[in-house]
Structure 1
Amino acid sequence: MDADNHTGPHRFSMPAWISCAPYEQLLGMEILSAEAGEAILQMPFLKILAQGAGLMHGGALVSLADTAVVMAIKSVVAPGTHFATIAMENRFLRPVKKGIVQARAHVSERKDTILKGQCEIQDEAGRTVMTFASVFKIAKDAVVRDVRFGDAPTQNEAHRQG
């Protein structure tokens, strides 16, 4: 087996700035909306996402929440902006046994190159099964626009323009 073909680095292109990457597609995630710092995603509880007791794996739920916050962030930063999760915290409130879960995320704070997000995941009955908070860092010299505040250039963007 040629390790280079299987272990990366991997190159691929996504169909749009706000779209699911291969890992997110593997989990069955679907973006329902992503605009103005908010995003709604859903994911079915497929058998491949079950842990040993037959419940939805917590890692799958965390992946959904993290991705939902990412899509909320992508809705307020310029396409191509590089950013990454640097911290996250979650609380599991109840197990998921079946159905489709839905993540509702929003950007809760932005300061310079730091963005914070919040997400709640609910089961088909509308019960909250997990809460999630995360912190992201935008790479230096990235353009950030804020659609909630008139799309004014940030300090970094204004510096590059002026």
Structure 2
Amino acid sequence: MTETTLPVLEYLRRQLAGTLRPGDTTHLRYPTAISRLLGLEVVDVDERFAVVRIAADIELHGNQQGTVHGGLLCELADAAIGTAHSTVIAPGESFTSIDLSARFVRPAWSGPLTATARCTHPGRTVSQYQCEIVREDGKVVAVVGSAVMTLRGEAAAGR
């Protein structure tokens, strides 16, 4: 079997289309370990854009009030933002979030939550992203902003 290393965007598009072939890989890890642990699913992707979903369950993801924990919402948004940014990361590069700011709008309970992340400023080194998380009824649960730094050369080594 021949191994084919694909750009991240092409890899994720093939994954979504169900057309990944044995041996198709990319230079980043997909799915991520945290995505597997939490059951996060990439449902749409384009350059600097991603939609990630989770089947929230307050028995697993709940807080003291019986609603979905804000930390899970932040992780969902971070996963969507990271997936969106990974679509422009070349071999030998890496990236890291340098901030994350969440505004919680309303509670969520068990059911699907969908995070849509898009780039609002595509910088060479620092890019800005906005992510909106919605419930099954289409109502916004949280709005999350994040700055993501692309790492190159020695800064990307070992990441």
Asked if Structure 1 and Structure 2 have the same fold, meaning a TM-score greater than 0.5 normalized by the shorter chain, the answer is yes
Q: Which one of 18, 40, 65 corresponds to residue 51 of structure 2?
A: 40
Name segments (4+ residues, structure 1) moved above 3 Å.
15-18
Q: How far is the alpha carbon of 1:75 from its aligned partner?
A: 1.4
**Cα shift readout 1:75-94 (whole Å, capped 9, x = no counterpart):** 12224521100011110000
Alpha-carbon spacing, 1:103–1:80, altered in 2? closer, same or farther (3 Å): farther
How far does residue 140 in structure 1 lie from its aligned partner after superposition?
3.1
Partner of 1:84: 96
Can you give the 5+ residue segments of structure 2 that lack an aligned partner in the other structure? Answer: 1-24, 155-159
**1:138 offset after TM fit, Å?**
1.2
- The TM-score, its normalising length taken from structure 2, stands at 0.74
Pairwise CA RMSD:
1.7
Q: Which among 29, 33, 52 is matched to residue 40 of structure 2?
A: 29
Q: Which has the higher strand share?
A: 2
Letter in 1 for 2:40: M
Q: Is this contact kept in 1: 2:127–2:149, CA < 8 A? A: yes
Does residue 51 of structure 1 match 2:63?
yes
State how far apart, in whole Å, the 1-side matches of 2:75 and 2:148 are. 15
**Aligned residue type for 1:27:** L
**What is the count of residue pairs matched by the alignment?**
128
- SS of 2:122 mapped into structure 1: strand
TM-score (norm 1): 0.73
Q: Percent identity?
A: 29
Structure 1: gaps spanning 5 or more residues: 1-14, 143-162
Bigger CA radius of gyration: 1
In 2, are the aligned partners of 1:18 and 1:75 still within 8 Å (CA)? no
Q: 1:28 to 1:70 in 2, by over 3 A?
A: same
